[in-house]
């Protein structure tokens, strides 16, 4: 892609799990590289304050098929999946209360 870029082109980059998005500006470009400058970074997900007692599990993005997964820390087993990160956190906290 670098050989198609020219100075002052804009690049938008996002992570698969939707956690953040950045805007970059091309400063210099050649056939095999592009030098860019970070213009803006947007955090797109909420910070979830997980209670200390909820440390038996963690939430991970597992791709477009499983999406947000609740992972048991003791053995790394995926025990539940949700479409939304906030729903995965809610399920995990509720599960922690019952276990």
Domain parsing of the chain, residue ranges: 2-43, 52-98
The CA-atom distances, in angstroms, between 26 and each of 31, 44, 90 are 13, 23, 41
Residue 51 predicted with pLDDT over 60: no
Residue 69 predicted with pLDDT over 50: yes
Residue 47 pLDDT: 56
Residue 29 pLDDT: 95
**Torsion angle of C-alpha atoms 76, 70, 79, 62, degrees rounded to 10:** -80
Q: For 2-49, how does the pLDDT look when each residue is reduced to its tens digit (9 = 90+)?
A: 999 999 999 999 987 777 899 999 999 999 999 999 999 998 876 555
């Amino acid at each position: 892609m670098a050989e198609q870029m020219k100075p002052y082109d804009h690049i938008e980059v996002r992570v698969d799990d939707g956690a953040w998005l950045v805007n970059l500006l091309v400063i210099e470009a050649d056939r095999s590289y592009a030098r860019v400058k970070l213009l803006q970074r947007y955090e797109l997900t909420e910070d979830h304050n997980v209670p200390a007692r909820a440390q038996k599990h963690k939430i991970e993005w597992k791709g477009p098929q499983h999406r947000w997964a609740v992972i048991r820390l003791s053995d790394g087993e995926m025990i539940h999946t949700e479409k939304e990160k906030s729903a995965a956190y809610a399920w995990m906290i509720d599960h922690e209360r019952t276990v």
